[in-house]
Amino acid sequence: MTKIGYARVSTTDQDLDLQQNKLKAEGYEIIRSAKVSGATRAGREELQTIIEFLRTGDELMVTHLDHLGRDTRAVLNIIHDCEQRGAFVTILGPHVSTRGEMVHMVLTVLGMVAPMERRFIKVRQREGIQQAKANFIYKGGIRRIDRAMVL
């Protein structure tokens, strides 16, 4: 049985260390990572490589459900692909594994909650920015230079 950890962040300027450390603390020696959006499965070659590598009895672990995908269908499709290979998926937060009987119901509910939580985070973020602007603290986000325009 091979235990593979998968760490993912959405952008190149985000840090994978926290996820990788959690996976190592759980005893995972093989940890693959990616800095790519989880909005779609397109461009997620690292995840696809892991799924293709999985064999019966193997386990894929992520620290949070949204590291697999951003919506219920995407998450359930990835879990289905792993199960088709005889492998299990485990999520650390909240701790859920596909080894149980009721897991699909739990994962479906969690998958439905994830987009709602993302919307709540965006609302809180906007409110925080408005408050910071009102207090003359907010300086705006990082501006990126389009390399194509520079060349």
Active site residues: 10
Q: Please give the radius of gyration of the chain, using alpha carbons only, rounded to the nearest integer.
A: 18
Omega prior to 115 cis, within 30 of 0? no
Pairing of strands 88-93, 96-97: antiparallel
The residue type found at 114 is A
Taking the C-alpha atoms of residue 7 and residue 21, their distance in angstroms, rounded to an integer, is 10
